[in-house]
Each structure stands twice: as structure tokens, then as C-alpha cells.
Chains A and B, each alone.
Chain A
Amino acid sequence: MVEKDLSVSLCGIRMQNPVVPASGTFGFGLELADSLDLGVLGGISLKGTTREARFGNPTPRIAECTAGMINSVGLQNPGIEVLVTEKAPALRRIYGGVIIANISGYSVEEYAYNCARADACPAIDILEVNVSCPNVHGGGMAFGTDAASAAAVTKAVRAVARKPVFIKLSPNVTDIVSIARACEDAGADGITLVNTFLGMRIDIRKRKPVIANKMGGFSGPAIFPVALRMVWQVAHACRIPVMGCGGVARAEDVVEMMMAGATAVQVGAENLRNPQASPEIVAALPALMGSLGINSLQEIIGIV
């Protein structure tokens, strides 16, 4: 069998494979260092970080659904200084792949500040700017549901960063393509999509929402076709690369996302039900490529 080439080039950065655990579903990577071989992962997107430390939302923060789950963690994180001085450098010492800092904020100024700090951290390769978290009132998603706001964040961040800047978009919008294009026009180097879908469950015995914060972000295999459609639309409307995310659970989903136009593919909720999901997907890719007649993953990006 011909040796399979899993590598891809993302904004000029070589990744040994396109598989990246998605932000919020893999901690800072360090939490899993003893349980699995991080080295096989193409990249790791770290837990979303704000300027100040946050405890996040009250519990329960998790609700099970058919073929998915809702989370309302609310950006629990230790703050940007801990990310750049402790977490990212500690991960760099044990991991050679692409490290992606996921940045949140409550104002354009905070986004810019956090990105400047992450940009100055040698351990971090890519900035992923989250304008799409559905779990924080007054922040985050407000920027991602409006093209002008998303562009304003992109422009401010672009001005302070030398590293590639990806904008992570919310699917809870009417026209994702117009927002993606606005980010591209404002200088984004890439787009990550999609974040979670706003969802809700009610405990019919207790007659109240399962999630303490009432609503949360729905993710899991149920959203895969919708995420794939959005990746396809955006990848064909923009010239910048896309990291596809949403319901990816198996190697087949990675190939499908790449055929839709994704250069890298993020694995999210599946990590929570199976901590070894991401390495298992990487391991399954060569045989799948063989059965599909694919020699290089780079060649299938956007072929549909």
C-alpha cells in the first residue's frame, strides 16, 4: 500500500494531520496528557480564555440529548495571563503539534488585548477568536451574530497579531456566509465553524430546565449535517482556509468535512463521551483513505 499522506498546510503551517480537538472539549491538553498520546494529534485548540479568570455558570452545566449534548460551562478559565505563562508553555514542553489559543472577550478592546498577549506567547501557533459562545450573556455571541461586529473584532485583533487569526463563528445566525465574508474582508486568516447551536432541555418530572442557565450550546453527531452545510457554503464563498467543526465523531466525518472544504477538522463533543476519540480518529484515517483511493488528504480539500 502506498504510504498515506495525512498532512495538511494551514496558513502555511504544516500539520501532520488535520485532526484537532475543539476548544472546550479538551481542556488545555494537559489534563489528558497521562491518559493518551497527545503527539498523534495534528493540533489542539485550548479552552476558551478571557482576560480575567472566570468560574463560569452554575451547575448543572450539562444535559444529555439524543445524538448529542448541551453544555453551559460559561467559559470557566484561569485568565489570559495563566494561559500564556503557564498552560500553553506547559503544553508546548510535551507536545510538538499546532497549539491554537481560543480567545474570548466582552469588548473589542478585550479581544485585542487577549490576542496581543497570546500572539506574544511563543508556545502558541494560531489564534482562534471566539465570537460565538452562546453561554455568556452580554459577550461573545453578540459579536458573532452581526457582520459589522464580527468585522470590528477581526480588524482589531488583526492589528495586534502576527500569527494566523481564525475567527470562530456561531451557527445561530441567518446568513453565515455574509459574516464569514465580513471577517475575511477585515483581515481574518481563516474561519473556524461552527460553534454550538443554542439549545434547551426540560426535566419533565421537576418541571424546570435541566441546565441551570436554562439554555446552552448543543453539539454532537446530530449537528453534523448542518455544520457540514455551513462549512461547504463558507469554504466556497471565501478564499481563506476553514477549520470545520460540528458533530465530527469518526474518520469518515473528517473526510466528509474536508471534501466540503475544511483544511483542518475539529472534534468536539465526541471527546467528552470518549476521551480517546481524537487519537482513534487519526489512527483510522489511513485505512479509510485506502478504501476511498485517497493518497493525500490535502488533495481532497473542497473537491465537492
Chain B
Amino acid sequence: MQKRIFNIEANDPVARDTFRIVLRTDGDVSVRSGQFVDIALPGFYLRRPISVSDRLPDGVVLYYKVVGEGTRAMAAMRPGAQLELLLPLGSGFHPERCREAALLVGGGLGAAPLYLLAKELLAAGKAATAVLGFNRADEICLTEEFRALGVPVLIATLDGSVGTKGFVTDAIAAAQPTFDRFYSCGPLPMMKAVCAALDAPGEVSLEERMGCGAGFCYGCSVQTRGGARRVCADGPVFDKEEVLW
């Protein structure tokens, strides 16, 4: 874990209440899919943990939703401003455990970390299909980025305005994609439904309110089949069998 200063290169709205921020620093950045950064926001006491959506040689791309005062302040920051990040944090996904074809199941901004995972899978010669669920059309993001990689994208919207009407599990049932391992990030009820519906081995990325973000305050602990685990340091990615829904 390092503490480093990043410059904001871009910080733009891409969907309803959703921003994409590009951060660059001096020197190489090392981070894997499923890992996160912890951002110090001026004027706020605790950091904001945000998963990494893409890695640049000297930076990261993040997506975040404006949900409170901190993220609202972050959305108002302009290119050229600086942010202090802790990174890399967390365990990350395991693309190496996929044999040939992966299913990437994202709900809302859960799509973000799956993008870097898709790049890692493709670089390793494996195939990937993305299934992305959103509440409504104006929340949709990242779908064109997945398609630009050559990753087929299935969309589900709750209001039926785009793609399959319903949940990601409805889109999966309709399209019957082929895969030997799945990876999921999104709301807990969605991931629970996905794990119940899919027989293949899978990994899910959990979310919890964090203190330190680096494994020493025990503020984000969850009970798992293997005992108490820290979401920030033992996770956020866990095998589906480990999670006690």
C-alpha cells in the first residue's frame, strides 16, 4: 500500500449522478481488477474507497456515484486539482481461475471494476460476456467501453427501457451465454440472486462502510463461511461459497 498524490485529468458526468474521473501520478501505477483506491477528500475526515475501473501506466480511471456530501464535493473538483490516494488496496478478482470464458455480471456501478477484469481476461486469451443491469436508461454507463473491447454486452433494465426488462438474471436466462466462471459486482440482493441462479464457480465483490481501508481497524468485517473477514483487506472479492447471504 502506498500513499501518493494524483492529478485530476478529467472528472465528467457520464450518466445520471455518475462521474468518471481520470487520475494520473508520477511514476508507474500497480493495481489489479477488483482492487480499490482510498481517496482523501479535502474537508472530509474519512477517505472514500472506490474500485478501479481501468489502469493506465501512470494512473487510474474510476467511476463514482454522487450519493452524499463527499461524492458531491468530489464531483465539483476540476481537472488540475490534486487528490491523495492510498493504493492498491484489497484482494482483487482472479482472472487466472477462468478456463476459457467468463461471465461478468454487474449491477449499476458494479460494472466499473469488471471493465479492468475484462481487459485482463482478454489479454490472457480468454473470452468474456458482460451482463449489466441498471434501474433505468439514463443510468447506463460503460456498455460502449465493453463493446469497444469486443466484449458482447447484455443489458437489463428494471423499467424495460433498454434490453431485457427485469434483472440481470432475466437477461442471463434469456441469452444463455456460455461460460465456465462468473464474476459479479453490484447490490447484495443482485449478487445473491446471481449466485443462486448460476451453477458455475464465481467470485463476488462485497461493499461495506470502511474505516482505514487497509485491514487494521476491523471496521468492515463480515462473517463468512471461513470466519470473520475484513472486506477491505481479505476482500472485497470473495468466492461465492464463502459469502453468508
**Residue of B46, B208, B218 contacting most chain A CB atoms (<10 Å):** B218
Q: A59-B221, A76-B228 are in contact. Are A275 and B216 (CB under 8 A)?
A: yes
Q: Are B3 and A274 interface neighbours, CB within 8 A? A: yes
Q: List A residues 58-73 near B (Cβ within 8 Å).
A: 59-69, 71, 73
B211 within 8 A of A: yes
B47 partner residues in chain A, CB cutoff 8 A? 273
Chain A interface mostly helix, strand, loop or mixed?
loop
From residue B164, how far is it (CB to closest CB) to chain A in Å?
30
A166 within 8 A of B: no
Q: Are B211 and A272 interface neighbours, CB within 8 A? A: yes
A220 within 8 A of B: yes
**Residue of B3, B219, B220, B221 contacting most chain A CB atoms (<10 Å):** B219
Q: Are A56 and B45 interface neighbours, CB within 8 A? A: no
From residue A197, how far is it (CB to closest CB) to chain B in Å?
15
Closest residue of chain A to B67 (Cβ to Cβ) is: A205
Which residue of the partner chain, among B2, B212, B228, contacts A272 with CB atoms under 8 Å?
A: B212
Q: Are B209 and A273 interface neighbours, CB within 8 A? A: no
B219 partner residues in chain A, CB cutoff 8 A? 59, 61-62, 71, 73, 272
Q: List A residues 270-284 near B (Cβ within 8 Å).
A: 271-276
Interface size of B by CB at 8 A reads: 27
A187 within 8 A of B: no
CA gap between A55 and B86 in the complex, in Å: 27
A66 partner residues in chain B, CB cutoff 8 A? 45
A3 within 8 A of B: no
Chain B interface mostly helix, strand, loop or mixed?
loop
- What total count of A-B pairs have CB within 8 Å? 93
B52 within 8 A of A: no
CA gap between A25 and B215 in the complex, in Å: 10
B50 within 8 A of A: no
Q: Are B223 and A55 interface neighbours, CB within 8 A? A: yes
B171 partner residues in chain A, CB cutoff 8 A? none
Which residue of the partner chain, among B70, B211, B222, B223, contacts A62 with CB atoms under 8 Å?
A: B211
CA gap between A184 and B15 in the complex, in Å: 62
CA gap between A65 and B70 in the complex, in Å: 12
Q: List A residues 1-39 near B (Cβ within 8 Å).
A: 24-27, 31-32, 34-35
B168 within 8 A of A: no
Closest residue of chain A to B221 (Cβ to Cβ) is: A76
From residue A43, how far is it (CB to closest CB) to chain B in Å?
16
CA gap between A210 and B112 in the complex, in Å: 26
Q: A62-B219, A71-B219 are in contact. Are A271 and B45 (CB under 8 A)?
A: no
From residue A205, how far is it (CB to closest CB) to chain B in Å?
9
From residue A266, how far is it (CB to closest CB) to chain B in Å?
15
Q: Are A59 and B222 interface neighbours, CB within 8 A? A: yes
Q: Are B223 and A68 interface neighbours, CB within 8 A? A: no
Closest residue of chain A to B208 (Cβ to Cβ) is: A59
Known: A272-B219, A273-B47. 12 other contacts (CB 8 A): A25-B217, A27-B216, A31-B215, A31-B233, A34-B1, A35-B214, A59-B222, A61-B218, A61-B220, A62-B220, A73-B218, A271-B216
Q: Jot down 30 A-B pairs with beta carbons below 8 A, ordered by A.
A: A24-B217, A26-B216, A27-B216, A27-B217, A31-B214, A32-B214, A35-B1, A35-B2, A47-B218, A59-B208, A59-B209, A59-B222, A60-B209, A61-B211, A61-B218, A61-B220, A62-B46, A62-B220, A67-B45, A68-B45, A69-B45, A69-B46, A76-B218, A76-B221, A271-B216, A271-B217, A273-B212, A274-B3, A275-B3, A276-B3
